[in-house]
Structure 1
Amino acid sequence: MIDEDGHFGERVAEHYDQSSSSEFQPGVIEQTVDVLAELADGGRALELAIGTGRIALPLARRGVSVHGIELSRAMVARMRAKPGAEGIDVAIGDFATTTVDTKTEGPFSLAYLVYNTIMNLASQEAQVACFRNVAEHLAPGGCFVIEVMVPELRKIPPGQNIVPFHTSPAGWAYTVYDTVTQDATCHYIEIAKDGRGEARSVPFRYVWPAELDLMAQLAGLRLRDRWDGWNRQPFTENSTQHVSVWEKPIS
C-alpha cells in the first residue's frame, strides 16, 4: 500500500541516510556541492526531491540560499531534525508540478535533481512537465542540473528483462525492465535477523540522454554541459551515468 508520501514514507526515511551507496560518501557529496555552488553563482537554488537534505544542507552551508520541493513529509521531517535545516523552505508536493514563490525573492539561478530521481516520475508526460516547471522557476541564464544513470539495457541478455544490482546475506534487489514502454520496477527484498522477509517495489521510467535533451528543448532550455559525473570527466559511450546541465537562454 502506498501512503501519502508515495514510495518514500517513514520506513524508507528512517534508514535513508544509512545507505552505503557512494552518493552518501563525504567526498562525493563535497564534489557534488562544489559543482552546484559554482553553477548557482551567488543566486538561489531549487532542489527537486530535497529528501533528507543530503545535498541541500551542505550547499546551504556554502552560503547558497536553497529552497526545496518534496513529496515525502517523512523525508522532510528527517531533514528538519538536522542542524541548518531551519533556513531551508520546502514546498510539499510532486516536483513535476508543484511551484514555489518567485515573485518575492525572484527566480532561481539553479535548479537540480540528483541521484536518478528524474526516473521516479514514471511517465514521459510527467518528465516533460518537470522540465517545463523548472523552466518557469529559472532566471534567464539559470541552469537545470540532472544526475542520472544511463539505462543498463546492455546488461540484459536476449530473452531476459531482469538486472540484479544488489545481493547480500541481508537481502537483494533487482530491476525488471520493459524495453517497449521504458517502464521499470525496482524490487527490494530485505531479510531481518529473525529470518522474516519484507518486500517493496518502486516503479520508475528510464530515460536516455538524448530524450532528456528533447524535453529540455520543449521547455525552452538548451544543453550546456554533459559529464560522466561530478568530476566533470567527459561523457562517453562507456559512461554509466551522466550529469547534464541545461541553460535557460538570456534572450
Structure 2
Amino acid sequence: MVDDDGYFSEPIAATYDESAADLFRPEAVDPAVDVLAELAGDGRALEFGVGTGRLALPLAARGVAVHGIDMSRAMLDRLRAKPDGDTVDVTVGDFATTRVEGTFSLAYLVFNTINNLTTQDAQVDCFRNAARHLRPGGHFVVEVGVPALRLLPPGQTAVPFHISDTRWAFDTYDVVTQAMSSHYVTVVDGRAEHWSIPFRYVWPAELDLMARLAGLRLRDRWDGWSRAPFTSESTGHVSVWEKPAD
C-alpha cells in the first residue's frame, strides 16, 4: 500500500543509504557534483527528488545554495538528521508541480528520478516546472538510463539487474505503455520479502521534445558524469537543457 510518502516511506527510507551504498562512494558522487557546481555557477540549485541528500549535501558544501523538493517526509527526515543537513532548504511536494520561491541557475534530477513520474503528462509537467524555476540562461539536468529493451527476446518482459544468494532484482517492461516496474526480492531468515516500484521509461528523443515544449533546448548529452560521448551503446545518459537567455 502506498502512503503519503509515496513509494519511499519509512521502511524504505530507513535503509535507503545502505541499499544504495555504491552511489554514495566518492567516485560516484564527486563527478556529478563537479558538473552540477559548474552549471550552478554563482546561482542557486533546485533538486527534484532530493531524497536523503546524496548530491545536495556535497553540492551545498561547495558553496552552492541548494533547495530540494521531495514528497517523502521520511527521506527528508534522514537528510535533516545528517551533518550539515540544515544547509539544504527543503519543500515537501510533488516535484512535477510544486513551486518554491525565487529563481535558480540550475534545476536537476538524478538516478532515474524522472521515471518516478509514471505518466507522460507528469513528465512534461516536470520539464515545465523546471523551466518556470530557471532564470534565463539556466540549465536543467537529467540523469536517466536508456531503456534496456534490446535485452528482451520475443515474449520476455523481465530483465534482471542483480542476483545474489540473498537478493534478486529485476525490471519488467510493457512496451505498449512504456510502463515498467523494478522488483526486489530479499531473503531474510529463510523467508523471501518482495516489494516493487512503478516507473515510466522514457527515450532521449522524447525528453528532448518535452524540453522543447517547456521552452528549453538541448545543450549537452553525455554517457555519464565523466562527460564521455553518448553513443548507441550507452546504457544511460546525463542530458543538459538550457533556458534561452533571451
Q: Establish whether TM, by shorter chain, passes 0.5.
A: yes
Q: Name the stretch that deviates more: 229-238 or 19-28.
A: 19-28
1:173 aligned partner:
169
Cα distance in 1 for partners of 2:87, 2:157 equals: 45
Stretches of structure 2 lacking an aligned partner (at least 5 in a row) = none
Q: Specify which of 219, 222, 230 is matched with residue 224 of structure 1.
A: 219
Give the CA deviation at 1:190. 1.1
1:207 aligned partner:
202
Superposed CA offset, 1:93-124 (max 9, x none): 1110111011xxxx100000000110010000
Letter in 1 for 2:238: V
1:163 aligned partner:
159
**2:50 aligned with 1:50, yes or no?**
yes
Give the CA deviation at 1:206. 0.3
Cα distance in 2 for partners of 1:227, 1:22 equals: 21
**1:88-103 alignment runs, 5 A limit:** 88-102=88-102
* TM-score for the superposition, normalised by structure 2: 0.98
Q: Specify which of 233, 245, 249 is matched with residue 228 of structure 2.
A: 233
2:129 aligned partner:
133
1:81 aligned partner:
81
Give the CA deviation at 1:19. 2.7
2:116 aligned partner:
120
Give the CA deviation at 1:185. 1.1
* Identity %, equivalent residues: 64
Q: Is the 8 A contact 2:223 2:230 kept in 1?
A: yes
Q: Is the 8 A contact 2:48 2:108 kept in 1?
A: yes
Q: Name the stretch that deviates more: 18-27 or 4-13.
A: 18-27
Give the CA deviation at 1:21. 5.6
Give the CA deviation at 1:186. 1.1
Cα distance in 2 for partners of 1:166, 1:236 equals: 24
2:224 counterpart SS class: coil
**2:145 aligned with 1:152, yes or no?**
no
2:51 counterpart SS class: coil
1:17 counterpart SS class: helix
Cα distance in 2 for partners of 1:212, 1:25 equals: 28
Q: Is the 8 A contact 2:222 2:237 kept in 1?
A: yes
Letter in 2 for 1:246: W
Q: Name the stretch that deviates more: 216-225 or 87-96.
A: 87-96
Stretches of structure 1 lacking an aligned partner (at least 5 in a row) = none
Superposed CA offset, 1:38-86 (max 9, x none): 0001100000000000000000000000001001000000011111111
Letter in 2 for 1:73: R
2:136 counterpart SS class: strand
Q: Is the 8 A contact 1:23 1:115 kept in 2?
A: no
Give the CA deviation at 1:135. 0.4
Cα distance in 2 for partners of 1:42, 1:33 equals: 15
Give the CA deviation at 1:24. 2.3
Stretches of 4+ moved more than 6 A in 1? none
2:144 counterpart SS class: strand
Give the CA deviation at 1:20. 4.8
Cα distance in 2 for partners of 1:24, 1:153 equals: 28
2:67 aligned partner:
67
Give the CA deviation at 1:22. 3.8
2:31 aligned partner:
31
